Amino acid sequence: MLIQQIVNGITLGSIYALMAIGYAMVFSLLELINFSHGQIFMLGAFLGLYTMRLISGNFIVILGVAVVLTALAGICVERIAVSPLRKKGAPKVSSLITTLSMGIIIENLVLVICGSRFQGFKPPFEVKYFDIYGIRISSLEIVIIALALSLMVVISLFMYKTKYGMAIRGCSQDIETTSLMGVNVNIFIAATFGVGSMLAAAAGILIGYYYNFVEPSMGAIVGMKGFTASVLGGRGMISGGVLGGFVLGILESLGTMVFTAQYRDTIAFTVLILILLFKPDGLLGKRRDK
């Protein structure tokens, strides 16, 4: 029973981790929190659904199309709600309100266009179940964890081994110097939002498969938990986000076992508040990605 719960926790945790990376990237760059990230996640899931219905049932196609379109949406959010404020030098709080508003707009647009019903979203491959030492795990869960981990590896490679990645990290260290060195900072900021949104879209599609449906309000809570995970691990750090995601997922699953399922969401919020109060730099403690 305990191990089973931990397996559940790891599956959910990998989703939280994907979300947390998006928050971490934006935070490390601009020291602000993108409150529309949860709705971007939901948008990715819906785009996946419609790709499946209108274009092709092929998993790669679904993932590809949804991810690219969601990245565009993420960049729109940056252009509309973030960069004008950055240019004006407005207080960080303002971008909190604007990104929050963008999130509400996205959620309600999807609500109006697609309706509030739960829409079925079956994975394009048959799900098999395995019994290993009394623990039941499905092929879907394995795919989710594997895919999430691979995406994390890809992102890390991207950030540490490629030119673009280094440029983004340079921006996060010191925007002025980097721009003085001839880097077009705006493009990289937009790119960061884009990449974060891609991860969110992938997470959205995976969650859609996991529960077999999508609906417009699925983003809000996951967004909050993804954010909690990034704070838990260490704001502004990708590795922190990953760690925080898995830790939160496991804490949540164990917590529902101990305190009953009623408290699932309360656990996440309590963790958030406790971390903010007592260890605001998160588990990994350091300030920024080096």
Report, in Å, the least distance between residue 162 CB and another protein: 31
Contact call for residue 93 and another protein (CB under 8 A):
yes
Q: Give the separation between CA 93 and CA 76, rounded to whole angstroms.
A: 19
Contact call for residue 159 and another protein (CB under 8 A):
no
Q: Give the separation between CA 173 and CA 188, rounded to whole angstroms.
A: 13
DSSP 59: H
Burial (CB count within 10 angstroms: exposed 0-12, middle 13-18, buried 19+), residue 133: exposed
Contact call for residue 139 and another protein (CB under 8 A):
no
Q: Give the separation between CA 66 and CA 4, rounded to whole angstroms.
A: 32
Pairing of strands 135-138, 129-132: antiparallel
Contact call for residue 183 and another protein (CB under 8 A):
no
Contact call for residue 251 and another protein (CB under 8 A):
no
Q: Report the 10 Å Cβ neighbour count for 284.
A: 17
Q: Give the separation between CA 97 and CA 113, rounded to whole angstroms.
A: 24
Contact call for residue 112 and another protein (CB under 8 A):
yes
Q: Within positions 30 to 59, which residues make up the interface with another protein, using CB under 8 A? A: 32-33
Contact call for residue 197 and another protein (CB under 8 A):
no
The residue range among 16-24, 57-65, 196-204, 249-257 that interacts with another protein, by the rule CB under 8 A, is 249-257
User: Quick one: how many helices (H) and strands (E) in the chain?
Assistant: 12, 4
Q: Give the separation between CA 168 and CA 156, rounded to whole angstroms.
A: 12
The residue range among 16-24, 61-69, 83-91, 172-180 that interacts with another protein, by the rule CB under 8 A, is 83-91
Contact call for residue 136 and another protein (CB under 8 A):
yes
Contacts 24+ apart (CB under 8 A), 156-162: 156/238, 156/239, 158/195, 159/238, 159/289
Contact call for residue 109 and another protein (CB under 8 A):
yes
Q: Which is nearer to another protein, 129 or 164 (CB)?
A: 129
Contact call for residue 285 and another protein (CB under 8 A):
no
Strand partners, 138: 129
Report, in Å, the least distance between residue 20 CB and another protein: 14
Report, in Å, the least distance between residue 183 CB and another protein: 26
Q: Within positions 212 to 231, which residues make up the interface with another protein, using CB under 8 A? A: 212-213, 215-218, 220, 227
Tell me which residues touch another protein (CB under 8 A): 1, 4-5, 8, 12, 32-33, 80-81, 84-85, 90-94, 96-98, 100-102, 104-105, 107-109, 111-112, 115-118, 120, 127, 129, 131, 136, 138, 211-213, 215-218, 220, 227, 253, 256-257, 260-266, 269-270, 272-273, 276-277, 280
